[in-house]
Structure 1
Amino acid sequence: MSQLPALADSATTALARGIQHIGVGKQQNRSLPPALLDECREALQSGDAEPILVGSFLGALLTKGPTSEERSLETVYGKGAFSNPAFFINKVCPDLPANLFPIATKLLKGHTLRPSEAHQLGNFLFLEDECETFKGMAASILRIRNESNDEYKGLYEAAMETITPGFRQLSCVDRPLVQLAEPFDGTDHTYLITPLLAHFFEQRGYGTLSVVSRTPGPKYTLNAHDLYLYLGCQMLQSNHEINTPPEPFGWVLDQKALSPALNRWVDRRRVMLKRPFLSTLERILNPCSARILVTSVFQVTAQMKMAELALMADFDAVIVLKRGLEGSLAPSTSRGSGILCAVRTARGHLFYQHFDSNLASFVGYRTESDDIVTNLQVSDNARLVRDFMQEGETGNDDFDNRARFMQALLSRGMDWIEGQLNGQGTY
């Protein structure tokens, strides 16, 4: 893959600021201010902008729907270019392989892809060096208009085809495996409790696998990858290593070892500045045949979507935390938080149950506010994790209460899941 610009260089460009302004979803349309619009026009005309940034900007603009003022950018490519997808793709992405042309025009017309088309698109996106402009455009379009389950299915299959040979073999785990996965960009002002959750499941008799990666942005302060490394946890290199008992935080899988193709997208995403489809997809990949996925979403409306995708990825059950602080697996104790639990029935149907923080058994964990951590440091977070492991408390009341609350939520959720799976004779 060609060398991408430094993060600081790309984040301050006109196109990057344009993406940050307009790439916020179809329901939150914002027009480019006149001065920024002029700067973006100059950047597009110069031909010097990073290709993936050009594609990401144009994909965001066209998916949002350009205003009459923004349509003046058509002059860079030709009159009526924004209304003629075939002409536009030829002008912007002349190096696009011919077999991707129908998919590109379909995306620009606002249509969703069939699973086979999404699979074909995914195969292209994971290539190392081909038409970076269209890669940015496709990822931006999918992200802003929200991917369908059919699209995720095809993209998932393409992503699984990129995993390294060591993770293509069945794992040797001798007990049910729980996979933990929170957004890889981590947090800027929240302590993580993820290793404590891994230990919780180990104590309950499960094997645990935490899936992590270096941060793709837009946050760069602390993520689970940083925390597990600081705690001295070894990263898996293949499924064969799962026959070694993990202590005390389970196994940890770094995306870099799992799939170089996915890892290359970390650098692309740092340039694009927005979370593409991979922010969801990478958390549901199931290379070690885990039975249960534990993950999180910030938006309540995304809970069921995440549960559906987890079952698509062959997990038997899933726990999805809503309103985790900064999207993490650390629940809010001041706002309405809770978990959605779902299992797949013998006929492949979704059966689910909510456990929210307003239940009587959780009232004792409620607080007036959630602590905002200033000067967040991985060393401080690691110390809190170790102290809680050894003593059951840390002296930080907010951290202790949050960890206990999440463990209580997980206990309630796992009781329900185990009851459902045992009742189906699948456990």
Structure 2
Amino acid sequence: MSMINLDLDAPVDTPLGRGIKHIGIGKYGSKPLPDDLLAECRAALADPASHPLQRGAFLGALLAKGPTPAEMALEEVIGKGAFSHPTFFINKVCPDLPVGMHPIATKLVRGHNLQVSEAHQLGDYLFGDDNCETFRGLAASIMRVRHETNEEYLGLMRAAESTFSPGFGPISCADRPLVQLAEPFDGVENSYLITPLLGQFFQKRGYGAISMVGRSGGPKFTLNALDLCMHLGCQFLQSNHELDTPLDRYGWVLDQKALSPALNRWVDRRRTIIKRPFLATLEKVLNPCHAQILVTSVFHITYQMKMAELALMAGFDAAIVMKRGLEGSLAPSTSRASGILCAVRTHRGHLFYQHFEADSPTFASFRTESDQQYDHPLATDNARLVQQFMAEGFSADADFDNRVRLAQAIYGRGLDWIEGQLRPQPVD
């Protein structure tokens, strides 16, 4: 493993950090660098003390969005013509990149998509121990700004699976079908999480519940599912072999740190490159416990179908994907147009999709004018609400209770549909 410090104390306060925030938005939203920031970034690129991950992430975002005529001046720091000659660019920016990675690096710089095998090779490098952190930032940033393809996600998924700890192998010891709950690992800043109560809900429906959690890679750091599960004293899974012991209450919790040290190391990298790279999506759909159904969420509605597709690629038989949950979480909004997309692959290999909208008349009794906001919610308060609701069926917070009941109603409707689709059909 490289000895480079992967985590900056204040990554958004550096010139390159501010530059990444400005241009690393996405292929439809990036803006030109203002003149003063452009000058600061030019000086930072010329400074050998600048963090290599930020150097790579900044240049990757710049190339993916396309430099403006004014931004072309940054090319002089690397070498004349560098932005037009990918091989020269890679040699100058990533001089310690292994030769075997050069074709993939060149392809990324040219703006081309990777095949599954190429993305797998890239993933092996990203999760490996080689020292070129600049290339890691460059590759993650390019793919994020131009958006990763399903083929790239599949290759990266296979590479990530090869990093799993030995206890999470190809065999599952579960005595019943499993539901995997996974929402953004950066959590929330103005609301409470209901994830453990969803675990209880699915367990009452006859499933084993597994909540995927991990350290926050940002941009939010206030409260996430890992914090909540630790305060609740949940059982953390160390191996698939533990799945033969059914758990009451919340089900199992799988911390990314126990699943894959390589993925856990990327949390520090993600904090340094600021923007959310491919792992923010990928870590939610990995299926180390061989679950049947994935219950997850998206912040951007355009990713709802993509998440369902990735779930089926990862080996799930079905997926429930929440849109417009509070801060992108699994908790539905009671005032905005939340809803779920259900996807299923039947026993005959057919794919079916169905939407259930939270603002439909079926769920009208849960609707409110607005969603309650909480300033810097604490894990201790969130845990107390979860424990109260679990013990009494209600808590001291009426808004929290209403949200949990809406979630139970809409996820239950989705689960009914999925079970109907997966039920073996009589042979004619």
Q: TM-score band (shorter)?
A: over 0.9
The answer for the alignment partner of 1:278 in structure 2 is 279
Q: Deviations over 1:84-138 (max 9, x none)?
A: 1111001000111111111111111111000000001000000124211000000
Letter in 1 for 2:281: T
8 Å CA contact 1:169–1:239 kept in 2: the answer is: no
Q: What CA deviation, in whole Å up to 9, does each residue of 1:125-156 have, x standing for no partner? A: 00124211000000001111111111111111
**Compared with structure 1, are the counterparts of its residues 347 and 105 closer, same or farther at alpha carbon in structure 2 (3 Å cutoff)?**
farther
- The whole-number CA distance in structure 2 between the counterparts of 1:244 and 1:181 is 21
**Secondary structure in 2 aligned to 1:343?**
strand
How do residues 28-427 of structure 1 correspond to structure 2 at under 5 angstroms? 28-424=29-425
Percent identity at matched positions? 64
Residue pair 2:334, 2:366 contacting (<8 A) in 1 also: yes
Deviation at 1:347, TM superposition (A): 4.4
Shift of 1:282: 0.6
Amino acid at match of 1:147: E
Contact 2:7 2:268 survives alignment (8 Å): no
Amino acid of the structure 2 residue aligned with 1:389: M
Question: How far apart are the structure 2 equivalents of 1:348 and 1:37?
Answer: 52
CA–CA separation in structure 2 for the residues paired with 1:50 and 1:85: 22
1:322–1:337 CA contact under 8 A, matched in 2 = yes
SS in 2 for 1:264: helix
User: How many angstroms apart in 2 are the aligned matches of 1:27 and 1:364?
Assistant: 38
Residue 405 of structure 1, CA deviation: 0.5
Q: How many aligned positions are there?
A: 425
Aligned counterparts of 2:89 and 2:409: Cα–Cα separation in 1: 54
Match of 2:68, SS state, is: coil
- Contact 1:4–1:268 at 8 Å: present in 2 too? no
Structure 1 stretch displaced more, 384-393 or 239-248:
239-248
Judged with a 3 Å threshold, the aligned counterparts in structure 2 of structure 1 residues 384 and 352 are, in CA distance, closer, same or farther, namely same
Stretches of structure 1 lacking an aligned partner (at least 5 in a row): none
| SS in structure 2 at match of 1:166 | coil
Q: What's the offset of the Cα at 1:393? A: 1.1
| 2:7 and 2:269 in contact (8 A); partners too | no
| Residues 35 and 343 of structure 1: CA distance in aligned 2, closer, same or farther (over 3 Å) | same
Q: Classify the secondary structure of the residue corresponding to 2:289.
A: coil
Q: Distance in 2 between matches of 1:300 and 1:10?
A: 28
Separation of aligned partners in 1, 2:377 and 2:241: 36
- CA distance in 1: counterparts of 2:403 and 2:85, whole angstroms: 53
- Aligned AA (1:181): A
Residue by residue over 1:198-252, the C-alpha shift from the partner in whole angstroms, topping out at 9 and shown as x without a partner, is: 0000111110000100111111000000100110012111111111221210000
SS at match of 2:296: strand
AA in 1 matched with 2:322:
L
Alignment partners' CA distance in 2, 1:371 and 1:232: 27
Local SS of the residue matching 2:172: coil
Supply the AA of the counterpart residue of 2:194: I
**Which letter maps to 2:29?**
Q
What one-letter code is carried by the residue in structure 2 that aligns with 1:206?
Answer: Y
The letter for the 1-side match of 2:253 is V
Alignment CA distance shift 1:37-1:49 (3 Å): same
Give, in angstroms, the shift of residue 372 of structure 1.
1.3
- Give the drift of 1:80: 1.5
Task: Using the TM superposition, give the Cα deviation of residue 398 of structure 1 relative to its aligned residue in structure 2, in angstroms.
Answer: 1.2
Contact 2:347 2:422 in 1 (8 A): no
Q: Which residue of 2 aligns with 1:17?
A: 18
User: In terms of mean alpha carbon deviation, does 167-176 or 107-116 score higher?
Assistant: 167-176
Greater shift in the superposed pair: 166-175 or 401-410: 166-175
What whole-Å deviation, never above 9, does each CA across 1:387-406 have from its counterpart, x for those lacking one? Answer: 11111111212111111101
Do the aligned partners of 2:344 and 2:421 also contact (CA within 8 Å) in 1?
Answer: yes
In the alignment, the residues of structure 1 paired with residue 340 and residue 44 of structure 2 have an alpha-carbon distance, to the nearest angstrom, of 45
Q: Which amino acid aligns with 2:53?
A: I
The one-letter code matched in structure 1 to 2:392 is: E
Please state how far the C-alpha of 1:70 moved relative to its aligned partner. 0.8
In structure 2, distance between residues paired with 1:199 and 1:406:
12
Deviation at 1:350, TM superposition (A): 2.0
Return the letter of the residue paired with 2:35: P
Change (3 A) 1:383 1:153: same
1:338 deviates by 0.6
Structure 2 CA distance, aligned partners of 1:233 and 1:357? 30
Q: Is the 8 A contact 1:285 1:313 kept in 2?
A: yes
Q: What are the Cα deviations for residues 369-398 of structure 1, in whole angstroms up to 9, with x where unaligned?
A: 111111311000000000111111112121
- The question of whether the paired residues in 1 share the 8 Å contact of 2:30 and 2:65 is answered with yes
Aligned partners of 1:370 and 1:261: how far apart in 2? 38
CA distance in 2, matches of 1:351, 1:405: 24
TM-score (ref. length: structure 2): 0.97
Deviation (angstroms), 1:9: 3.1
How high is the TM-score relative to the length of structure 1?
Answer: 0.97
Whole-angstrom CA distance in 2 between matches of 1:8 and 1:394 = 38
CA 1:25–1:374: 2 relative to 1, 3 Å: same
RMSD: 1.2
Please give the secondary structure, in 2, of the residue aligned with 1:394: coil
In the aligned structure 2, how far is the partner of 1:203 from the partner of 1:7?
44
The aligned amino acid for 2:223 is L
Q: CA deviation at 1:194?
A: 0.3
Q: How far has the Cα of 1:6 moved from its partner?
A: 5.0
1:409 Cα deviation (Å)? 0.5
- Measure, in 1, the Cα distance between the counterparts of 2:200 and 2:120: 36
